[in-house]
Amino acid sequence: MQNPKVSVVRLASYKNEELHKALKKSLTLIGGLENIIKPCSKVFVKINHLSPPSLPEKSIVTHPVFTSEVLCLLKELNLKITVGDDIQSKEKDGFFLSGYRKACNDLGIRLVNLKETGFREINCNGQVLKKTFISPLLLEADFVLNLPKLKTHSFTVFTGAVKNMFGIIPYGLRLNYHRQFTRVDVFSQMLVDIFSCAPPHLTIMDGIVAMEGEGPSTGNPRKVGVILASQDAVAVDAVASKIVGINPKNIDTTFNAHERGLGIGVIEKIEIAGEKIHDVAVRNFKHSAVATGIMRRKIPQSLYAHIQEHLILTPEVNKKKCTACMECIEICPRGAVKLDQDSARVNKTLCIHCMCCHEVCRFFAIKLKQRPLGRIVRASEVLYKKIMTLFG
C-alpha cells in the first residue's frame, strides 16, 4: 500500500471565512477536492452527531459550522449531497438543537436521520461480524465523506474516523454490539468490520475544539486547533491521536484496521502535509481515566454484559393508539413486527432494537421501554456526572 498523505492545517476557531480558507487549504494539500470527487456524484456525508442531541459548544458533535463550510465546498462541484447519522432523540427533530437542521436547510441540503430510511442486511465477512445492517444511503452513494470529531472515548480510548462509521448501523444494534462484544479488542474488531463495509473515500476531521477526558459525550471541550484531511481514514486517526498524545499502536481500531490493510496506522509510513505533528501537538491533553484506568478492567465482563442488557430500549405497541397502518411492519428489517388482532405487536426475540418502527409511527403508538435495572443505572450515571461537575 502506498504511503497516504494527511494534511494538517491550523485553525483556532469556527469563524466561517477562516474555516472556509483552512478547509480549502487542507484539501489542496492532498490533491484538491475536484480531483478526489467526480462531478455529479451522489455523496453521503457522515457526520458525528451523537444521541441525545446536544449544543455544538459541548464538542460532542462535528461542529455544524465546520460541516456547513465543507458542504459549501461540495456544492461548488455540482454534487447530489445527503448528510446523515443515526440518532436517537425524544424531540421530533433530533437535529434541531445541534443546529444541523438550520445549517442544512440554509444550504438546501438533505439531512437524514438514518432510521427514517430503514436499514439493509448485508454480508460483512468481518472478523466478528458475518452479517450486519447498514443504511442504504451509504450503499447507494458513489462517494462517502466522513466528518468525524476528534474525541477521547471511555471504552475505546479514542474516537475519530474509523469509529465514526459505527453510526451507519441502527442505534439498537449498536447497543446490542456493546452488550455482545464487551472486550475492547473484540469490540474494536467489530468497529473495523463495520468500517470495512462502507470505507469512506475522504475524511476531514474536526479537531478545532476536540473533547478530552471522558468522551465521547461527558468529557470537556479542549482547543486543539487543527483540521486533518486524507483519503485514508486510518491515517487520519493515527495522526490525530499522536497530536493529542496517544500512541496510535494503543488504539485498537487503528491497529486492527492497519493490520487488515484498510489503511495505514503507523506514523512513520504517513506523509504529513502542512503543519508538523510536533508543532501542533497538545500538551497535557486529558485521556479517559475510565478507558485507561484500572476500574474498567476490575469490573467483571459478565457483570458488565448484564448491565448493558438492561440499558437496551425495546419498542412496545400501545394497542389503543395503534391504527394498524402497517408502516412499522413494512420498515422493520427483521420482520419482528406483525399484525395481531388489529394492532401491531413486536416479537422481542427477533428485535434488533434499531428503532425504525418507533421513528416511522405517526400515531405515537410505539413507546420505548427500558428495564428497571437500566433505569437505575441511567439515574446513577446522571447523579455521578452531577457530582463530578460539582467537585471534579
Contact set with ligand SF4 (CB under 6 A): 172, 315, 317, 322-328, 331-332, 334, 336-337, 344, 346, 351-357, 360-361, 363, 365-366
Rank residues 127 and 343 by Cβ distance to ligand SF4 and give the closer one: 343
Beta bridge partners of 211: 151, 221
Q: Distance from first CA to last CA of the chain, Å, rounded?
A: 46
Closest Cα to residue 289, out of 212, 183, 381? 212
Q: Whole-number minimum distance, CB 162 to ligand SF4, in Å?
A: 25
Q: Does residue 251 contact residue 158 with C-beta atoms inside 8 Å?
A: yes
233 burial level (CB within 10 Å; 0-12, 13-18, 19+):
buried
Rank residues 66 and 119 by Cβ distance to ligand SF4 and give the closer one: 119
Rank residues 236 and 328 by Cβ distance to ligand SF4 and give the closer one: 328
Q: Whole-number minimum distance, CB 136 to ligand SF4, in Å?
A: 15
284: cell is 497535557
Q: Which region, left, alpha or beta, applies to residue 157 given φ > 0 means left and ψ of -120 to 50 means alpha?
A: left
Q: Whole-number minimum distance, CB 97 to ligand SF4, in Å?
A: 24
316: cell is 412496545
Rank residues 200 and 315 by Cβ distance to ligand SF4 and give the closer one: 315
Q: Whole-number minimum distance, CB 357 to ligand SF4, in Å?
A: 3
Rank residues 290 and 325 by Cβ distance to ligand SF4 and give the closer one: 325
Rank residues 363 and 384 by Cβ distance to ligand SF4 and give the closer one: 363
Q: Whole-number minimum distance, CB 315 to ligand SF4, in Å?
A: 5
Q: Whole-number minimum distance, CB 51 to ligand SF4, in Å?
A: 15
Rank residues 94 and 315 by Cβ distance to ligand SF4 and give the closer one: 315
C-alpha distances out from residue 349 to 6, 220, 319, 346, Å: 45, 39, 20, 9
Q: Whole-number minimum distance, CB 392 to ligand SF4, in Å?
A: 36
The residue written with cell numbers 491550523 in the block is 10
Q: Whole-number minimum distance, CB 314 to ligand SF4, in Å?
A: 8
The CA-based angle 382-383-385, given to 5 degrees, is 65
DSSP string, 20-62: HHHHHHHHHTTT-HHHHS-TT-EEEEEE--PSSP--GGGS-S-
Rank residues 118 and 207 by Cβ distance to ligand SF4 and give the closer one: 118
- 273 backbone dihedrals φ, ψ, rounded to 5°: -115, 135
